[in-house]
Amino acid sequence: MTSEQELKELVRQKYSEIALQDKDTNAASCCGSGCCSTEVYNIMNDDYSQMEGYNPDADLGLGCGLPTQYAQIKPGDVVIDLGSGAGNDCFVARSQTGPTGKVIGIDFTEAMIEKARANAEKLGYNNVEFRMGDIEKMPVTANVADVIVSNCVLNLVPNKRNVIKEIFRVLKANGHFSISDIVLVGNLPDNLQKAAEMYAGCVSGAIQKDEYLGLIKDAGFESITLQKEKEIIIPNDILSAYLSAEEIDAFKNSGTGIYSVTVFARKPACCTPGSGCC
């Protein structure tokens, strides 16, 4: 069985490769996984191009939602983007925080950090920074963020509970997050669930929707809201790399659904005594 560290290394290697690809190559693949589809449409990602602050050089086509659109970011806010990639959501968030706010992107892929920093330098932003780090142990002190965003990243982390606990730690009291992610309703076929390539492609690393929302509740968050939900259809030419024709038919008739969700939740204004936020 693949260990959590091996899965992380798989993701690091794959997204290091993706950092050197263009958006069209990434958008034609399964969340950038390289299992390319010949069908002409994007599988996961939504269109950022009409959002203020959008910079095409920072958009690698790897997301599965528009979390910054729903994140209720205000001027002066401190915003953290988990799995910040080339900086796309950070630059959109910066347009909302304005020059008085601060945006921190965290990514554990060196090539992505380098690309994001180059983009920020080119744009002349002095209140957007990118930190190398694991989102299971963020390089950020407690109670610092007003808002946390993330786009199609938690499904790539083996231990999602740890990440959600870290989000709770880093948010200020009454701070909130808006996160887009991939979740499941029903069980994937074994070959898809075990496929390392599909893990890096955001699918086999996804967990059940109810479990995902349960982890958020268990961490102490309140006002948990599903802001957006859409079904993701994986084309047959991708599925055929892992499943026979009969298995594809069975999968499509099984009732199993793969969904992109954008979830909002708030850290209580006063938390459990001893938690450091009261």
What is the Cα 67 distance to its own chain's centre? 9
| Residue range of the domain that includes 166 | 4-179+213-228+262-266
Report yes or no on 236 lying in a domain: no
Tokens representing residue 158 in the block: 């083996």
73-217-6 Cα angle (round to 5) = 90
Q: Alpha-carbon distance 162 to 219, whole Å?
A: 9
pLDDT (0 to 100) of residue 196: 62
Q: How does 222-259 read in b/e, with b if 16+ C-beta sit within 10 Å?
A: eeeeebbeeebebeeebbeebbeeebbeebeeeeeebb
Please indicate whether residue 81 or residue 200 has the higher confidence score (pLDDT).
Answer: 81
- Reported as a pLDDT band with limits 50, 70 and 90, residue 120 is very high
Partners of 265 in beta bridges: 177
pLDDT (0 to 100) of residue 198: 66
Q: Centre a 10 Å sphere on the Cβ of residue 155 and count the other Cβ atoms it contains.
A: 22
In tens, the pLDDT along 59-71 reads 888 888 999 999 9
- Max Cα–Cα distance, the chain, nearest Å: 57
CATH assignment at residue 125 = 3.40.50.150
In tens, the pLDDT along 207-219 reads 999 999 999 999 9
**Once rounded to an integer, what is the mean pLDDT over residues 182-200?**
80
In tens, the pLDDT along 124-151 reads 999 999 999 999 999 999 999 999 999 9
Report yes or no on 124 lying in a domain: yes
pLDDT (0 to 100) of residue 131: 98
Q: Alpha-carbon distance 87 to 115, whole Å?
A: 8
Q: Alpha-carbon distance 182 to 196, whole Å?
A: 16
Q: How many Å is the Cα radius of gyration of the chain?
A: 18
Tokens representing residue 21 in the block: 């690809």
Report yes or no on 119 lying in a domain: yes
Report yes or no on 167 lying in a domain: yes
Please indicate whether residue 199 or residue 155 has the higher confidence score (pLDDT).
Answer: 155
In tens, the pLDDT along 224-236 reads 999 999 998 888 8
Report yes or no on 254 lying in a domain: no
Number of separate domains in the chain = 1
Report yes or no on 198 lying in a domain: no
CA proximity to 8, closest of 158, 164, 163:
158
Report yes or no on 121 lying in a domain: yes
192-197-202 Cα angle (round to 5) = 75
Which pTM was predicted? Answer: 0.86
Name the percent of the chain lying above pLDDT 70: 84
Report yes or no on 233 lying in a domain: no
Contacts of 134 (CB under 8 A, 6+ apart): 8, 108
pLDDT (0 to 100) of residue 235: 84
CA proximity to 238, closest of 45, 39, 60, 62:
39
**Once rounded to an integer, what is the mean pLDDT over residues 40-46?**
58
Please indicate whether residue 174 or residue 15 has the higher confidence score (pLDDT).
Answer: 174
